[in-house]
Amino acid sequence: MKKLFVIIVMYGLFMAMPGTMQAQESHGNALNAFVKFGDNSSISANYEFAITQDITVSPEARIWFSGKNDLSIGARGDFYFDRLFNLKEPWDIWGGIDMGFIVSGDDNKDDFNLNLHAGVEYKFSDMFGVILELGGGTTAAGGIGIGIHF
Protein backbone atom coordinates (compact mmCIF):
# COMPACT_ATOMS: atom_id res chain seq x y z
CA MET A 1 0.00 0.00 0.00
CA LYS A 2 2.82 2.41 0.88
CA LYS A 3 4.59 1.83 -2.45
CA LEU A 4 1.34 2.32 -4.38
CA PHE A 5 0.74 5.64 -2.58
CA VAL A 6 4.29 6.85 -3.36
CA ILE A 7 3.89 5.84 -7.04
CA ILE A 8 0.57 7.70 -7.29
CA VAL A 9 2.02 10.83 -5.65
CA MET A 10 5.10 10.79 -7.90
CA TYR A 11 2.99 10.24 -11.04
CA GLY A 12 0.75 13.14 -10.04
CA LEU A 13 3.76 15.40 -9.56
CA PHE A 14 5.18 14.62 -12.97
CA MET A 15 1.79 15.16 -14.60
CA ALA A 16 1.31 18.47 -12.78
CA MET A 17 4.53 20.18 -13.81
CA PRO A 18 4.41 23.99 -13.60
CA GLY A 19 4.08 24.45 -17.38
CA THR A 20 0.71 22.73 -17.37
CA MET A 21 -0.64 24.51 -14.31
CA GLN A 22 -2.66 27.68 -14.23
CA ALA A 23 -0.26 30.58 -13.66
CA GLN A 24 -0.80 32.46 -10.43
CA GLU A 25 0.87 35.42 -8.91
CA SER A 26 0.50 34.55 -5.23
CA HIS A 27 -0.20 30.80 -4.83
CA GLY A 28 1.75 27.82 -6.09
CA ASN A 29 5.33 27.41 -7.26
CA ALA A 30 6.59 27.91 -3.72
CA LEU A 31 9.04 25.94 -1.62
CA ASN A 32 8.05 26.01 2.07
CA ALA A 33 10.32 24.80 4.87
CA PHE A 34 9.21 24.53 8.52
CA VAL A 35 10.51 23.84 11.97
CA LYS A 36 7.60 22.20 13.77
CA PHE A 37 7.30 22.30 17.56
CA GLY A 38 5.34 20.53 20.28
CA ASP A 39 5.19 16.79 20.97
CA ASN A 40 6.09 16.10 17.32
CA SER A 41 9.14 18.37 16.91
CA SER A 42 10.42 18.02 13.36
CA ILE A 43 11.49 19.75 10.18
CA SER A 44 9.37 19.55 7.06
CA ALA A 45 9.26 20.86 3.52
CA ASN A 46 6.75 20.95 0.68
CA TYR A 47 6.57 22.37 -2.84
CA GLU A 48 3.24 23.90 -3.87
CA PHE A 49 1.68 23.54 -7.33
CA ALA A 50 -1.36 25.67 -8.19
CA ILE A 51 -4.46 23.72 -9.22
CA THR A 52 -6.88 26.67 -9.30
CA GLN A 53 -6.61 30.28 -8.22
CA ASP A 54 -7.29 29.30 -4.60
CA ILE A 55 -6.16 25.65 -4.36
CA THR A 56 -2.65 24.16 -4.26
CA VAL A 57 -1.29 20.62 -3.86
CA SER A 58 2.16 19.72 -2.57
CA PRO A 59 4.42 16.75 -2.09
CA GLU A 60 5.69 16.85 1.48
CA ALA A 61 8.49 15.30 3.53
CA ARG A 62 9.02 15.49 7.28
CA ILE A 63 11.86 14.32 9.54
CA TRP A 64 11.44 14.04 13.31
CA PHE A 65 14.12 15.25 15.74
CA SER A 66 13.54 12.31 18.07
CA GLY A 67 11.08 9.58 18.88
CA LYS A 68 9.85 6.51 17.04
CA ASN A 69 9.24 8.16 13.66
CA ASP A 70 12.09 8.81 11.28
CA LEU A 71 10.42 10.13 8.13
CA SER A 72 6.99 10.93 6.72
CA ILE A 73 6.39 11.16 2.98
CA GLY A 74 3.06 12.36 1.69
CA ALA A 75 1.05 15.13 0.13
CA ARG A 76 -1.02 18.08 1.20
CA GLY A 77 -3.76 20.26 -0.22
CA ASP A 78 -4.43 23.88 0.73
CA PHE A 79 -7.29 26.31 0.13
CA TYR A 80 -6.31 30.00 0.19
CA PHE A 81 -8.91 32.32 1.71
CA ASP A 82 -7.37 35.54 0.30
CA ARG A 83 -10.11 36.25 -2.28
CA LEU A 84 -12.87 35.22 0.12
CA PHE A 85 -11.60 37.67 2.79
CA ASN A 86 -10.53 40.27 0.18
CA LEU A 87 -7.01 39.98 1.62
CA LYS A 88 -4.26 41.83 -0.25
CA GLU A 89 -0.54 41.18 -0.53
CA PRO A 90 1.70 40.74 1.45
CA TRP A 91 -0.62 38.40 3.46
CA ASP A 92 -1.86 34.87 2.66
CA ILE A 93 -4.21 32.78 4.81
CA TRP A 94 -4.99 29.11 4.13
CA GLY A 95 -6.37 25.93 5.56
CA GLY A 96 -5.82 22.39 4.41
CA ILE A 97 -5.21 18.73 4.94
CA ASP A 98 -2.03 16.68 4.77
CA MET A 99 -1.55 12.94 4.71
CA GLY A 100 1.20 10.45 4.19
CA PHE A 101 3.07 7.43 5.38
CA ILE A 102 5.32 7.43 8.41
CA VAL A 103 8.37 5.39 7.51
CA SER A 104 10.48 4.09 10.39
CA GLY A 105 13.69 2.07 10.32
CA ASP A 106 11.62 -1.12 10.65
CA ASP A 107 9.53 -1.87 7.52
CA ASN A 108 6.86 -3.49 9.69
CA LYS A 109 6.11 -0.24 11.54
CA ASP A 110 4.89 1.94 8.67
CA ASP A 111 1.86 4.01 9.54
CA PHE A 112 -0.53 6.43 7.84
CA ASN A 113 -0.98 9.97 9.15
CA LEU A 114 -3.78 12.46 8.55
CA ASN A 115 -3.76 16.08 9.76
CA LEU A 116 -5.60 19.37 9.38
CA HIS A 117 -3.71 22.66 9.35
CA ALA A 118 -4.20 26.43 9.04
CA GLY A 119 -1.55 28.98 8.28
CA VAL A 120 -0.64 32.56 7.55
CA GLU A 121 2.27 34.01 5.56
CA TYR A 122 3.69 37.51 5.47
CA LYS A 123 5.75 38.13 2.31
CA PHE A 124 8.74 40.43 2.74
CA SER A 125 9.27 40.49 -1.03
CA ASP A 126 7.98 38.78 -4.17
CA MET A 127 10.33 35.89 -3.39
CA PHE A 128 10.48 35.45 0.42
CA GLY A 129 7.97 35.20 3.24
CA VAL A 130 7.68 34.03 6.85
CA ILE A 131 5.04 31.41 7.70
CA LEU A 132 3.19 30.45 10.89
CA GLU A 133 1.14 27.24 10.77
CA LEU A 134 -0.97 25.38 13.36
CA GLY A 135 -2.43 21.91 13.04
CA GLY A 136 -4.15 18.95 14.58
CA GLY A 137 -4.26 15.24 13.81
CA THR A 138 -2.13 12.14 14.17
CA THR A 139 1.26 13.86 13.74
CA ALA A 140 0.37 17.56 13.59
CA ALA A 141 2.34 20.29 15.28
CA GLY A 142 2.54 24.06 15.06
CA GLY A 143 5.47 25.48 13.20
CA ILE A 144 7.28 28.48 11.85
CA GLY A 145 8.95 28.55 8.48
CA ILE A 146 9.95 30.34 5.33
CA GLY A 147 8.35 30.45 1.92
CA ILE A 148 10.42 30.83 -1.23
CA HIS A 149 8.28 31.81 -4.22
CA PHE A 150 9.33 31.23 -7.82
Q: Is the separation of the CB atoms in 58 and 78 below 8 Å?
A: yes
DSSP per-residue letters across 47-103: EEEESSSSEEEEEEEEEESSSS--EEEEEEEEEE-TTTTTPPTTEEEEEEEEEEEEE
How many Å apart are CA 25 and CA 150, to the nearest integer? 10
What is the pLDDT at residue 18? 45
Q: 19: buried, middle or exposed (CB in 10 Å: 19+, 13-18, 0-12)?
A: exposed
- 65: pLDDT confidence band, cut at 50, 70 and 90? confident
> Among residues 41, 140, 54, which one has the least CA distance to residue 100?
140
- 103: pLDDT confidence band, cut at 50, 70 and 90? confident
Looking at the predicted structure, is the pLDDT value of residue 108 above 70? no
> Among residues 136, 133, 130, which one has the least CA distance to residue 148?
130
| HSE-CB of 109 using CA atoms within 13 angstroms | 9
Calculate mean pLDDT across residues 75-86. 96
Task: Please state whether the predicted TM-score (pTM) of the whole model is above 0.75.
Answer: yes
